[in-house]
Amino acid sequence: MTAERRRTTSKVPSKPRAEELTLTIERIDDDGMGLANHAGKPVVVFDALPGEKVVARVVHTGRHRILASTLRVLQASRDRIAKTSCPHYRACQSCALLSWKYTAQLECKSKRVADALAAYPSLLEVPLGEVWAAPETLGYRASAKLVVARKRGKAQVGMYRRGSHDVVDIADCPLHHPLINRVAAVVREELDRRNISAYDVNHRRGLLRYLLIRVSPTYDKAMVTFVTSERNYSEVTHLAKWLQRKVPEVISVHQNVNASSGNVIIGRETLKVLGTPDLIDQVGDVRLRLGPTSFLQVHHVQAARIYRLVRDWCNLRAGESALDLYCGVGGISLHLAPKAHQVLGIETVAEAVRHAQANAKMNGFTNCKFVAGDVEALLEEDLPLSGTLGAVVVNPPRSGCAPQVLTAIAEMQPRTLVYVSCHPGSLAHDLALLVDKGFHVDQVQPVDMFPQTPHIENVARLTFTGSHKPAGLSEASNKAKKP
C-alpha cells in the first residue's frame, strides 16, 4: 500500500465526546433553567424541572458554573408534559417552560413574585393575587424580532440559540401569531430564490440583519420592517413587493438602517418602503396607531386586562387628573381619559409620543397631553397639567424606576399610585422604597403575559398614607423639584 493510500485510509481523530452528568434538580432560576450541583459547582440545566433526576450533557464549563442541557429524564416531575408543541424547542431554548404543564407554570411564576416580595420585610404582608392565566398560551405573540443569517448557503430566519450567535431557523414558531409565521416563511423563500445576502456578525458584512414583524390580531393585518446594514432601495423594495403579493395582509413595509457592529437590533433611521406608514390595532377599549419601532405588549388579551385593571385601580374622581410615566404609545393613558379631568403622559421615545398624540386624536380624546423627554428631568419642572392629582401610573423598563423618580412621585402625594412591572425583582425593590416614602402597598396582581416562558407581568396598587393634602398639579410638581 502506498503512503498516499495509507494517508487516505487512516482514521480521522474523532471529536471528544461531551461530558454527561447525572443530576438532581433542586430548583429553577429566573430564566427558567434548572439548578443542580456537581462537585461543589452549580450547574444550570436547560429543560429540567424541580425535583427531577436527569442525565445532562455539558455545554460549557466556566470558572463559577457549568452549563448543561437535559439528554434523558431518569425521574420525571408530575408537571412535565409528554411532548412539547415545538420541534425547535431544544435547539432554540427561548421558551424555557414549554415542557411544563400550564398550571405548574403559573405556580412557578406566583412563587417567583412571592419570593421577590419576601426579600423585603416591609412587603411581607402585601396581598398577592392569584396569577391571571392567559386564555391563549400558544399563538399569542403579536410581534417578533427574527434574526436573518445563512448556513451552508441556505437562508435562516429565526432566533439566536441561547448564549450564542448561532441562528436557529424556526419554520413555524407555536408562540407566534400565525400571520408572523406566514411572513417569515415567504421572506425565507425569497431570500433563497434571489440569494440576497444576510449579515454575518463575524465578518461584519452582508445586507439583511433582522426581520421585524408586527401583527394586529384584531384586524388581521401586518407591518414588516427589514433591518439592513446599509440603505438598499433595490433589494428591499423587491422583497417588499414580493411579500405583499404573497401575503396581502402585509399593509406596511419599512427599512431600518443599522450600520453598528454591536448587538443593538434597531438603528436610528427608518424609511417607509411600501404601503401605509403605520399599523392600526386595538387593545382593550382603544384603537392604537403603531410605528415600526413602537413598543406594545405582545399578548393583546392580557394587555387589555392590565389596562382595565389600571383604570379601575386609579378610580379617578371628578376633577382629578392622572400622570402616566413611561406611557409609550398611550394605551394606559387613553383608558384613563374617559374619567380624567386631564391625563399627562411622559415618554423618553419621541416617536412613541407622536403616536400617543395621534392615538388620542383618533379615539376622540381632547384631555390628553404627551411630552417627550427624560422622566426624571421632567418631574423637576412644572408639569403642564391642570386639576387635582388623583393618580400616578408608572410602567418602567425592566430595571425599574430611578430613585429620583420615586422620590418625586412621593413628594407629589398622589392619592393612588399604580405600578406596572415586567420584572418581579425591580418591582419589589421599588415598592420597598415607596413604602419608606409614605406609601402603602394595597395589592399586587400577577398577569401571565408570556406563557411558556419564565417572565411574569405584575400590577401593584399603592395608596399614599402620609399627610396627604389634595393639591393642584402645578403645586405638586413644584414639590418634586430638587432644592
Tell me the C-alpha distance between 262 and 250, whole Å.
29
The CA distance from 392 to 307, in Å, is 14
Nearest to 335 by CA among 300, 364, 311: 311
Burial of 472 (0-12, 13-18, 19+ CB in 10 A): middle
- Residue 204: left (phi > 0), alpha (psi -120 to 50), or beta? left
Nearest to 289 by CA among 302, 305, 300, 276: 276
C-alpha cell at 448: 401571565
Identity at 183, one-letter amino acid code: V
Catalytic one of 92, 95, 327, 422: 422
Element housing 43 (H / E) = strand 41-46
Alpha helices in 315-460 (DSSP H): 331-336, 350-362, 375-378, 403-412, 424-436
Element (DSSP H or E) covering residue 390: strand 388-394
Per the CB < 8 A criterion, the answer to whether 127 and 446 are in contact is: no
User: Torsion-angle region of residue 197: left (phi > 0), alpha (psi -120 to 50) or beta?
Assistant: beta
Please check whether residue 384 is in contact with residue 431, taking contact to mean a CB–CB distance below 8 angstroms.
no
Rounded to whole angstroms, the Cα distance separating 347 from 357 reads 12
Residues 6+ apart with CB under 8 A from 363: 286, 287, 334, 337
Residue 241 CA to residue 253 CA, distance in Å, equals: 9
Burial class (CB in 10 A: 0-12, 13-18, 19+), 12: exposed
CB atoms closer than 10 angstroms to residue 94 = 20
293 φ, ψ to 5°?
-115, 15
Q: What are phi and psi of 44, to 5 degrees?
A: -100, 120
Determine whether 327 is an active site residue: no
Rg (C-alpha) for the chain, rounded Å, is 25
Place of cell 445532562: 56
Q: Grid coordinates standing for 193? A: 430564490
Which residues are part of the catalytic machinery? 422
